[in-house]
């Protein structure tokens, strides 16, 4: 289920419970009187605003960090592909194909996971790239500094991938969400009692508060899940890099899914990495 929908359902449940409790008290014969003084409401509203502001800032930074990590990963992937010119033709082509499928698996399988747990398919491509680089290293490639740079850059790709996975998972702490829901409940209570004497105002204000809180929670949940629809980012940098990698591949690579499915990967880590 969508993370945004989960948070909205929690919010709507909180609002429903609050209004249900108020109506239950009224039906049991206890009179409900409007609140005449708005001083405490101003304090509660200001405090709730501070919580929303802090959470929005935190989530915005998280959203931006995710985009930067994804761009660095795609750039490092392109650097490895560019340095394959120092490799024998056969190994260089095989490396390009694995990098192309790495990008494909990130786009199709790993991007929308919204979790710090990566895709086994992408991990397999990482192993394949490392295995090819180790194989090339045994062939005494020249210039050797190109090879060492390609090897270190491939490790950088793995590091940037871990950064992207970490940033793609929700980061807003649960206690902060609880504060938001508690503040929303208090706002609903005050909005109800401040407009209790006018039925039209009561209905209108509760609808306005409901829509406002829904918008706030939806945006915060969307920022906290930076790869999830409808606010999620798309893997544009990785798509651009995949398009560049595809240029020198055989025609079957144009249909990425069957091409990558037919491209094997090592079952375990290369021996030199164990």
Measured between alpha carbons, how far is 46 from 54 in angstroms, rounded to an integer? 12
254 is a domain residue: yes
72 is a domain residue: yes
40 is a domain residue: no
Both tokens of residue 89?
């033709």
47 is a domain residue: no
Are 78 and 157 spatial neighbours (Cβ–Cβ below 8 Å)?
Answer: no
Classify 140 in phi/psi space as left (phi over 0), alpha (psi -120 to 50) or beta: left
**What pLDDT is attached to residue 62?**
84
Measured between alpha carbons, how far is 93 from 105 in angstroms, rounded to an integer? 18
93 is a domain residue: yes
Measured between alpha carbons, how far is 53 from 56 in angstroms, rounded to an integer? 5
CB under 8 Å to 51, separation ≥6 — which residues? 176, 179, 180, 183
pLDDT tens, residue order, the chain (274 aa): 688 899 999 999 999 998 888 888 767 766 665 556 556 666 777 888 888 888 888 888 888 888 899 999 999 999 988 888 778 888 888 999 999 999 999 999 898 887 778 888 899 999 999 988 888 888 777 788 888 898 899 899 999 999 998 888 888 888 889 989 998 998 888 777 776 666 677 788 878 888 999 999 999 998 888 888 777 888 999 999 999 988 888 888 778 888 888 888 876 665 544 4
Of 84, 77, 73, nearest to 147 by C-alpha is: 84
Measured between alpha carbons, how far is 257 from 253 in angstroms, rounded to an integer? 8
30 is a domain residue: no
Q: Which long-range contacts (CB under 8 A, 24 or more apart) does 175-178 make?
A: 176/51, 176/54, 176/55, 176/58, 177/7
211 is a domain residue: yes
pTM: 0.80
Look at the chain and report how many structural domains it folds into. 1
* Domain encompassing residue 102: 3-25+53-273
**What pLDDT is attached to residue 274?**
40
Are 252 and 87 spatial neighbours (Cβ–Cβ below 8 Å)?
Answer: no
Of 231, 238, 235, nearest to 63 by C-alpha is: 231
**What pLDDT is attached to residue 226?**
87
Which residue is listed with tokens 């560049």?
244
82 is a domain residue: yes
**What pLDDT is attached to residue 197?**
65
Which residue is listed with tokens 């990425």?
256
Measured between alpha carbons, how far is 95 from 98 in angstroms, rounded to an integer? 5
How many other C-beta atoms lie within 10 A of the C-beta of residue 79? 16
């Amino acid at each position: 289920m969508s993370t945004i929908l989960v948070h909205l359902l929690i919010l709507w449940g909180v609002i429903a419970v609050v209004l249900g409790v108020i109506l239950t008290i009224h039906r049991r014969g206890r009179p409900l009187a409007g609140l005449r003084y708005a001083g405490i409401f101003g304090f509660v509203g200001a405090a709730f605003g501070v919580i929303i502001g802090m959470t929005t800032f935190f989530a915005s930074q998280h959203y931006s960090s995710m985009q930067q990590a994804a761009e660095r990963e795609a750039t490092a992937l392109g650097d490895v592909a560019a340095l394959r010119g120092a490799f024998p033709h056969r190994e260089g082509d095989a490396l390009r194909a694995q990098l192309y499928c790495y990008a494909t698996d990130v786009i199709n399988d790993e991007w929308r996971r919204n979790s710090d747990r990566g895709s086994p398919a992408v991990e397999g491509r990482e192993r394949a790239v490392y295995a090819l680089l180790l194989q090339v290293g045994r062939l005494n490639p020249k210039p050797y500094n190109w090879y060492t740079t390609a090897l270190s850059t491939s490790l950088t790709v793995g590091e940037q991938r871990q950064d992207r996975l970490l940033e793609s998972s929700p980061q807003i702490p649960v206690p902060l969400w609880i504060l938001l829901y508690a503040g929303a409940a208090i706002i609903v209570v005050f909005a109800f009692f401040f407009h209790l004497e006018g039925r039209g105002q009561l209905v209108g204000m509760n609808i306005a508060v409901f829509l406002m809180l829904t918008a706030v929670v939806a945006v915060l949940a969307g920022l906290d899940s930076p790869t999830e629809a409808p606010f999620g980012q798309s893997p544009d940098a990785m798509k651009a890099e995949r398009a560049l990698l595809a240029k020198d591949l055989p025609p079957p690579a144009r249909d990425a899914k069957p091409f990558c499915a037919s491209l094997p990967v090592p079952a375990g880590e290369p021996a030199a990495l164990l």
